[in-house]
Amino acid sequence: MSEASSTPVKTFSIGFEEQDFSELHHARRVAEHVGAEHHEFIVRPDALEVLPTLVEHYGEPYADSSAIPTYYVSRETRRHVTVALNGDGGDECFAGYERYAVMKFAETYHRLPAKLRKHFVERAFEMLPSGGGGRSFFTRAKRFMRGASLPRVERYLRWVSVFDTPDKHELYSDDFKHETAGWSATSWLEPWFVHANGSGLLDATLLADTMTYLPNDLLVKVDIASMAVSLEARSPFLDHHVIEFAASLPENLKLRGLTTKYLLKKVLKRLLPSENLDRRKMGFGVPIGHWFRGELQNFLRETILSQKALARGLFKPEAVRRLVELHTRRERDFSHQLWTLLMLELWFQKFID
């Protein structure tokens, strides 16, 4: 864009005061490298300002917390332009998520004898300390081990789920378990792995994400957040020519060893600083875990532990209280679980009550 444009390209990035979640300096490096007119914005947790807006615009129990920075970056961008380009689809086309490499590694692990996996490897991993947040090595290692021995689709579902099957069993009331007994998240995801029709594991997983996660989460998130502020967002990676080209590539040009987006990184070496290309992917994470132990703790408790919320009959009150207490005492990280419960209750208050 910078090479083709006669005026500096406008770029926009969002960040947080919590440095573990902020990529502002990386975005700034690219903007300076290409000579862009760069704009930055720091997100601070003002729940009373943003959450009612998000709940109203999404209109359904929508629990992707990155809707917060997406809304803010859209609002800031709209002050300068009416149309903006984003990178949605790049990960699903060219294998950008770390879970693709993990899925591949798990296939190798799965070939070990079951007794060796269960009695030695998995038992050793369960002895690792808990806590440290969802991004800590120990947390990620234990999450990997809990899913690595499962069949392919169940394994993938566990890694992308906020509440897996054992979690739901602990949380759901008896009545809600009965109401949902006929539904299975696996049956929703599995047809896409089957539909891959003999493709390799990576291509089957990319297809499943392209047909589920991308249209039902990511594109919904960006479309609603951007249209809420009258910004039109466009996704060049989702041009059908790009998708068809990426789908035709052999798997080792998308994921090579543990290197994600292999071909894309090779192509971009001449355009981007190496510090950006070689760094680990972060994703559009939000420090909700910090906020629930600090600025948003009272709001969280007043919402999901209220008498009205606990009386809805969906969840066991003691299970909800346990999630809140263990998280706020820093014994476990239940950031995403609590965010999901919070957004569900706010949706109930707005649209049902």
Please check the confidence at residue 158 and state whether its pLDDT lies above 90. no
Which range marks the domain in which residue 329 is found?
288-352
Residues 80 and 138 placed together within one structural domain of the fold: no
CATH number at 32 reads: 3.40.50.620
Q: Closest Cα partner for 24 from 10, 37, 8, 12?
A: 12
If you average pLDDT over every residue of the chain, what do you get?
89
Q: What is the pLDDT of residue 284?
A: 67
Please check the confidence at residue 256 and state whether its pLDDT lies above 80. yes
**Mean pLDDT over residues 250-270, rounded?**
94
Residues 42 and 123 placed together within one structural domain of the fold: no
Look at 307 and 277; give whichever has higher pLDDT: 307
Residues 56 and 156 placed together within one structural domain of the fold: no
End-to-end CA distance of the chain: 48
pTM: 0.87
In angstroms and rounded to an integer, the radius of gyration of the C-alpha atoms of the chain is 21
Residues 196 and 334 placed together within one structural domain of the fold: no
Decide if 80 is inside a domain. Answer: yes
Residues 195 and 232 placed together within one structural domain of the fold: no
Residues 152 and 66 placed together within one structural domain of the fold: no
Which class for 39: exposed (0-12), middle (13-18), buried (19 or more C-beta within 10 A)? middle
Beta-bridge partner residues of 259: 256
Q: Closest Cα partner for 255 from 104, 124, 51?
A: 104
Q: Give buried/exposed letters for 269-293 (b at 16+ CB in 10 A, else e).
A: eeebeeebeeeeeeebbbbbbbbbe
Decide if 87 is inside a domain. Answer: yes
CA–CA dist 277, 123 (Å, integer): 36
Altogether, the residues listed in the chain come to a count of 353
Report the domain count for the chain.
Answer: 3
Q: What is the pLDDT of residue 335?
A: 94
Q: What is the pLDDT of residue 45?
A: 64
The percentage of residues in the chain with a pLDDT greater than 70, rounded to a whole number, is 90
What is the tens place of the pLDDT at every residue in 173-225?
999 999 999 888 888 899 999 888 778 999 999 999 999 999 999 999 999 99
CA–CA dist 84, 79 (Å, integer): 12
Residues 30 and 90 placed together within one structural domain of the fold: yes
Residues 149 and 55 placed together within one structural domain of the fold: no
